[in-house]
Structure 1
Amino acid sequence: MASNAKRIKNKAVGPVPQSRDEAREYMRRIGSHQNERKRIEATMNEQIQKIRDKYQALAAPHAEQINELSQGLHVWCEANRGDLTNNGKRKSADLGAGEIAWRITPPKVSLRNIMGVIENLKSLGLDRFIRSKEEINKDAILAEPDAVDGIAGISITQGEDFVIKPHESELEEVA
């Protein structure tokens, strides 16, 4: 007979301190491990930066050449655009070693002085171009929780975190 009860799995718990002194020792060890992890992370980031710098330096001359050659190719293609596109009947051309193409980008709206634009649109009766967004003010609800008590769909919850903050010790530089 199969049971309908859900099976609950808990993570295995490691050793548990048996006294305040042992708890203090656990805290000290956690802090020590955190410091070592930070040191390892700093060393890793330093090595990654060295590798990144090395390969960026190797790639830089190629990037410069790509840029220079691309600009020259663009000038030549613009000068010969009619021949390359069959007088505008095509948007691309195959040059044997690769293809070039002219693409029209989608239209985009750029705004400056947004409040001024909104005022102008309102004064011209063009409210359809102004978006109005309704949303719940959660800060106001937290300020007055009794006012929304019992309203379906609103619940105010609060949890508790267990925080471990070992004291950090820093080595002093000696000159």
Structure 2
Amino acid sequence: MAKKPIRHKTAAAVAPVPQDRDQVTAAIREIGELQRQIVRTSTEMNDELAAVKERYEAQAQPLQARIDALTQGLQIWAEANRDRITQNGKTKTVAFPSGELNWRTRPPSVRVTGAEAVLDILRRMGLGRFIRSKEEVNKEAILNEPKAVANVPGISIQQGEDFVVTPFEAELAEVPQ
């Protein structure tokens, strides 16, 4: 028995195609109107979100203040009793029926202020191993001289084209109050 061919169905395109310059002008105008409506809708959404966020942040603020105060009190107590509750530093985590207290050592980090002066000092002290030099392909130079690298494997210069519709818009002048 022969298998039925697999059919792939796609929806037909329903894009309105203008038939003359007047219809093109009208379509561009409609795009501008729709874009402005999207901006208004987005602005309304953000106004509502800001009000909701502000309301919940106001509710959470006293709760966070209480958490901060309790945490500070726990830290003071834990530091005062650290040797006893960590078995003289053998453990960094202390379990309680309601949770844990623990100390975590952050990884070391380097902070450099006045980078140029530090680089100069490192060079003068013969500590160049602490200076990083980074090699990378200079794409700007390649774009300036594309023929020079035309036969280099791994380098290709690409350029595309976009179709852009830009409805005319005028900004309102600020009205003095």
Matched residue SS, 2:167 = coil
Compute the displacement of 1:53 (Å): 0.3
Corresponding position of 1:98: 99
Corresponding position of 2:161: 160
Corresponding position of 1:52: 53
Corresponding position of 1:143: 144
- Alpha-carbon distance change, 112 to 157 in structure 1, aligned in 2, over 3 angstroms: same
Instruction: Give the distance between the partners of 1:144 and 1:10, measured in 2 at CA.
Output: 46
| 2:135 matches 1:134 | yes
Instruction: Give the distance between the partners of 1:100 and 1:89, measured in 2 at CA.
Output: 14
Instruction: Give the distance between the partners of 1:153 and 1:171, measured in 2 at CA.
Output: 50
Matched residue SS, 1:110 = coil
- Structure 1: where are the runs of 5+ without partners? 1-6
- Structure 2: where are the runs of 5+ without partners? 1-7
Matched residue SS, 2:34 = helix
The size of the alignment, in residue pairs, is 168
Instruction: Give the distance between the partners of 2:96 and 2:12, measured in 1 at CA.
Output: 63
Instruction: Give the distance between the partners of 1:47 and 1:29, measured in 2 at CA.
Output: 27
Instruction: Give the distance between the partners of 2:113 and 2:137, measured in 1 at CA.
Output: 28
Corresponding position of 2:125: 124
Instruction: Give the distance between the partners of 1:45 and 1:111, measured in 2 at CA.
Output: 40
Instruction: Give the distance between the partners of 1:101 and 1:33, measured in 2 at CA.
Output: 56
Q: CA RMSD in A?
A: 2.4
TM-score with structure 1 setting the length: 0.86
Matched residue SS, 2:31 = helix
- Aligned-partner residue type, residue 155 of structure 2: I
